[in-house]
Amino acid sequence: MGMWLIVALALGVFEVQAQSTGFDAVFGEGADVVLTDAGRFHVTLHSQGAGVGFQRGTFDGAFVVRGWQGELVFVRHLKEEKTRNPVYEEGLPYVFGKVNAFHALRLQRYKESVVAEKYRRGGVTLSHTRSVGAVLGIAKPVYLEIGYPEIPYTSLQVERYEPEEHFSDRIYGRAPWVNGLESLAWNPGVSVGQTVSFEFSETRTSTRTLDVGVQADVYWRPVEIMAFVAPRRMHFTFLLRYAWGAQWSAKGLGDARS
């Protein structure tokens, strides 16, 4: 028992000395600077698509960051499956039955709370984030190249996809993406999310973060992406997000400028 007590005391003394001298410590240099601001950019993969976004916040104490975040993601329907015209394989692939390409633009207020902070290089800071705000759904009609009169086609026309008129034997391929931009439809709603974050940067002023979480968007009107499938107002997705950014002291910047 006495030997283990001596070992524990020795390890404790070593830990204190290592932190006080900055040995292998994340915060050994510049530890007296009080951080006030944080910002980051991120890329997101979610269960129905992907997107990009940013965060900008300020510290509320040492372990809480509050601020705003924005994100633009595209949303696929789970039943989407690309296909081609079997006769004219040079035609662009398309999704049969897809009537709208859908994107979600989110603007949210967030609160990030640190659960466990890292103190040494190679460590990880664990935190969780809650977000709530507005979402704007953006639906762009799908346009296709339609062949006339029948296979073999003698002419092609770009037309908005109509499920009751355009059958697979008449579809040459997908039309260029710019078609339909003049007919965007807007669908507002509310958005809530929650993530668990693992921050693993080896410096105090830069951040590298992996987020795992869920997101729920509820729209004013049901969202139609695919024909022959009942549209839904609520979209619930799982997400994996990688972010890189920085955190700094605004007071220090002000002193530097003066």
* 117 located within any domain: yes
At 43, which CATH number?
Answer: 2.40.160.20
Backbone angles phi, psi at 10, to 5 degrees: -65, -45
Position 22 scores a pLDDT of 40
Separation CA 214–CA 202 (nearest Å): 27
* 28 located within any domain: no
Residue with tokens 């993969």: 45
Classify residue 93 as exposed, middle or buried by CB count within 10 Å of its CB (0-12, 13-18, 19+): exposed
Average pLDDT over residues 4-17: 39
Q: How far, in Å, are 124, 193, 194, 235 from residue 110 at the CA level?
A: 21, 9, 9, 20
Q: What is the mean pLDDT of the chain?
A: 87
* 177 located within any domain: yes
Structural domain count of the chain = 1
* 76 located within any domain: yes
* 14 located within any domain: no
pLDDT tens digit sequence for 36-93: 999 999 999 999 999 999 999 999 998 999 999 999 999 999 999 999 999 998 999 9
Domain hosting residue 122, numbered range: 35-257
Q: Which residues does 119 contact at the CB level (< 8 Å), separation at least 6?
A: 19, 25, 26, 27
CB-based burial, 220-256: b 16+ in 10 Å, e otherwise = eeebbbbbeeeeeeebebebebebebebbbeeeeeee
* 75 located within any domain: yes
pLDDT at 18 over 70: no
Q: Are 53 and 103 in contact (CB under 8 A)?
A: no
pLDDT tens digit sequence for 175-197: 999 999 999 999 999 999 999 99
Considering only CA atoms, which of 177, 247, 217 is closest in space to residue 36? Answer: 247
